[in-house]
Structure 1
């Protein structure tokens, strides 16, 4: 049974000057015969707390050591543990790096621990300078971002780094970044002129397609932006920024199902300390609440939205048979979608199936008696006595997305 507070630290602490990752586990015994456990993965080179979590563990210290410290550990005081972790956070903060998003939650074990009880000083970095070592979880883009941050804070020669592969941007990417800087400063036309030849010359370059998509966002053409961002993601499926901007476009187009899926990709591939990642989490939280308010699972809610959007696209292209199939799927997932039933009715009218159309329109009106497109189409249906497909201008189309 552990004492009230205890700190366990990996053996790598004995070589702190080498800036190897250090794993710290802080334990507080609870009155309920269980332990509060907070874990911190420390990068003493420059990044500080790279990972953190909090959990309740059974009161078995040996099992905890076996779980987290296969190569053995060193026991330290609670004051040492808090002082070391907070010192690493402070060092990283000076360099512009924030601790892991769950750091605050993990610090709940700090209660009652006084850092003044530890007089030890810690030296971070390597050989007196910040040191960055690219981990296997950090791709070239992430490594480049970290190195650029260190350059901004320390200068070109003010830090050390080791990377798996080159983090220097290729010339094409550099040109794309320049175009985006122009666009953000108001020079959108100049950016279009400069980037257009690159799109023709490098049609499969992820950054070129991404930049072309962003320019269309800034120019207000969201549909074109969606097209090029999708193309960029075909080349680089893990680009969190392309996924995030795609999500923004989908939300503006009221395609909430697709926006949710894009945000899931941001969360999967993104940096947890990035504002984009946090925004994606918050937006999906709101969409999940909307699903619950609709008494749907989040899976059915998102699926119904995506099917509805596919139906709208097909109907806008006068492809009424495929559109009908998409709307059927939408109302199967969300039977209370008056717009889905209404659009089914419109498709059936265009396909020359008035009896089925009447049932679909009535289903729409049963849900919302004041739904104008269904009311108008029902009125037109009563006047039209034919079993042949009618001109698409005859009946009212509803291109409004469910919310």
Structure 2
């Protein structure tokens, strides 16, 4: 039997699109069988009336009627906060407003309520790209393909997005997408260690990033802070100068070099969060 497209008419003769009619129920049935074998279960609220309202609202959202749809979504959420489509609708509204943190919250909740919801994964991936959270974006695109397949309507879009990301990382960073994501994960962990003043761990992790990407300016800048916080100012100065040789206009490095160059070896740099956050702004270039 040929696979029914999500936008085709439902075979139950309801004259509705398949994705608005029997598809959610069939996905739940299929998914419950697969997760049962793994001792994983989920409970989702399926309310045909609410879902019909949400689907109509999604069509209105596509027509640009954001304010009206968001008001409806908020009203629905007040009474149906555990409905996956209500959360999805609200997440899309926030995404349309470029409020990506809120969009992430509701799209993620939609997935928690209905794990096989491929559209939520895809939109969460797009929101994650806007937030420069490449790790999450790649994971979401991969989830789309896992659920929908590379030949599914949404799966094809996800596969194309991953293909473009692979081309970009290879062209500009000389890394495969997997290597890039791994390196970014290491950088994020290093940054968290730096915030927690776990300087030795931060140094080890930033060193791993620099082993793969020797010209990563932000890692040079951050590792300099970690070294100086330990009183190893000669090493700190070395990395700051390296950062400036790569990017002479990188102001955090030049500002901190002026301070650290005045410190004696063994004298520890006072550590302030605003200095760390200044470097965090550069994470998007990794």
TM-score by length of 2: 0.69
The 8 Å contact of residues 60 and 69 in structure 2, kept in 1 or not, is answered as: yes
- Give 1:208's aligned residue: 86
Match of 2:261, SS? helix
- Give 1:259's aligned residue: 137
- Give 2:256's aligned residue: 377
Q: Give the Cα–Cα distance (whole angstroms) in 2 for the partners of residues 302 and 175 of structure 1.
A: 39
The 8 Å contact of residues 365 and 374 in structure 1, kept in 2 or not, is answered as: yes
The 8 Å contact of residues 180 and 215 in structure 1, kept in 2 or not, is answered as: no
- Residue among 292, 307, 325 paired with 2:170: 292
C-alpha change, 1:353 and 1:368, in structure 2 (3 Å) is: same
Correspondence 1:156-171 to 2 at 5 A: 170-171=48-49
- Residue among 112, 115, 118 paired with 1:237: 115
The 8 Å contact of residues 377 and 396 in structure 1, kept in 2 or not, is answered as: no
- Residue among 178, 189, 202 paired with 2:56: 178
Larger % of helix: which? 2
- Give 2:285's aligned residue: 402
Q: Give the Cα–Cα distance (whole angstroms) in 1 for the partners of residues 192 and 49 of structure 2.
A: 38
The 8 Å contact of residues 301 and 334 in structure 1, kept in 2 or not, is answered as: no
Q: Give the Cα–Cα distance (whole angstroms) in 1 for the partners of residues 193 and 76 of structure 2.
A: 32
Match of 1:397, SS? helix
* Alpha-carbon shift at residue 216 of structure 1 (Å): 0.6
Q: State yes or no: 1:301 paired with 2:184.
A: no
- Residue among 363, 380, 387 paired with 2:268: 387
* Alpha-carbon shift at residue 187 of structure 1 (Å): 3.0
> Any stretches of 5+ residues in structure 1 without a counterpart?
1-42, 51-96, 99-141, 157-161
Match of 1:244, SS? helix
- Give 1:282's aligned residue: 160
Correspondence 1:127-142 to 2 at 5 A: none
- Give 1:61's aligned residue: none
CA deviation map 1:269-290 (0-9, x unaligned): 1254555322321221222233
- Give 1:361's aligned residue: 240
C-alpha change, 1:292 and 1:390, in structure 2 (3 Å) is: closer
- Give 1:248's aligned residue: 126
The 8 Å contact of residues 57 and 69 in structure 2, kept in 1 or not, is answered as: yes
The 8 Å contact of residues 176 and 207 in structure 1, kept in 2 or not, is answered as: yes
Q: How many residues align?
A: 255
Q: State yes or no: 1:219 paired with 2:219.
A: no
CA deviation map 1:311-336 (0-9, x unaligned): 66887xx5554994765554455444
The 8 Å contact of residues 255 and 309 in structure 1, kept in 2 or not, is answered as: no
- Give 2:217's aligned residue: 338
Match of 1:389, SS? coil
* Alpha-carbon shift at residue 246 of structure 1 (Å): 1.3
Q: Give the Cα–Cα distance (whole angstroms) in 2 for the partners of residues 389 and 397 of structure 1.
A: 15
Larger % of strand: which? 1
CA deviation map 1:346-381 (0-9, x unaligned): 4565x5655354354345346545544323322232
* Alpha-carbon shift at residue 222 of structure 1 (Å): 1.0
CA deviation map 1:99-140 (0-9, x unaligned): xxxxxxxxxxxxxxxxxxxxxxxxxxxxxxxxxxxxxxxxxx
- Give 1:270's aligned residue: 148
CA deviation map 1:24-58 (0-9, x unaligned): xxxxxxxxxxxxxxxxxxx3xxx4xx5xxxxxxxx
* Alpha-carbon shift at residue 343 of structure 1 (Å): 2.9
C-alpha change, 1:185 and 1:286, in structure 2 (3 Å) is: closer
TM-score by length of 1: 0.51
> Any stretches of 5+ residues in structure 2 without a counterpart?
17-21, 28-45
C-alpha change, 1:329 and 1:261, in structure 2 (3 Å) is: farther
CA deviation map 1:237-261 (0-9, x unaligned): 3222111111111222233333222
Q: Give the Cα–Cα distance (whole angstroms) in 1 for the partners of residues 60 and 24 of structure 2.
A: 32
Report the aligned-residue RMSD. Answer: 3.9
- Give 2:37's aligned residue: none
